[in-house]
């Protein structure tokens, strides 16, 4: 596509950060669906209950994911699971167990035997 001045331009999708979807499912959802299909087919593929166990569970999981995630943001089920697994009560004044204090620069120099206040 060229305009009058000879500049070339190309078409760009509207949303560059949009997640790729296939058949209305996100890629991790498709991984779950096909993993279920493969495992249940491996276990129940030779039995006479193949159709309800293999295809029924796969269709059930696909329908569950499709209808529960409809109209929700990306990675909704992952964030919902993280929300459910976190404690429901947080203390504002509680001790921070993950905090690690940095060493003072002067203390680290003294441990090395160097005087930080000495002039050159």
Average pLDDT, the chain: 81
Q: How confident is the model at residue 60 (pLDDT cuts 50, 70, 90)?
A: very high
Asked whether residue 105 is domain-assigned, the answer is no
Number of domains in the chain: 1
Find the domain containing 46 and state its range: 20-70
Q: Identify which of 6, 3, 7, 63 has the alpha carbon closest to the alpha carbon of residue 33.
A: 63
- Indicate whether 47 belongs to any domain: yes
- What is the three-class DSSP state of 65? helix
Q: Which residue in 24, 26, 50 sits closest to 37, CA to CA?
A: 50
- Residue 34 located in a structural domain: yes
Vertex 74 angle, CA 66 and 60, to 5°: 20
State pTM to two decimals.
Answer: 0.55
Instruction: Provide the 3-class DSSP secondary structure of residue 22.
Output: strand
- Decide: helix, strand or coil at residue 85: helix
């Amino acid at each position: 596509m060229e305009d009058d001045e000879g500049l070339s331009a190309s078409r760009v999708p509207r949303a560059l950060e949009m997640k790729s979807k296939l058949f209305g499912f996100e890629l991790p959802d498709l991984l779950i669906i096909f993993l279920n299909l493969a495992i249940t087919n491996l276990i129940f593929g030779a039995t006479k209950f193949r159709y309800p166990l293999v295809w029924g569970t796969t269709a059930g999981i696909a329908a569950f994911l499709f209808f529960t995630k409809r109209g929700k943001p990306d990675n909704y089920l992952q964030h919902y699971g993280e929300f459910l697994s976190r404690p429901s009560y947080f203390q504002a004044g509680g001790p921070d167990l993950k905090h690690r204090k940095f060493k003072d620069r002067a203390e680290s120099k003294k441990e090395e035997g160097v005087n930080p206040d000495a002039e050159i």
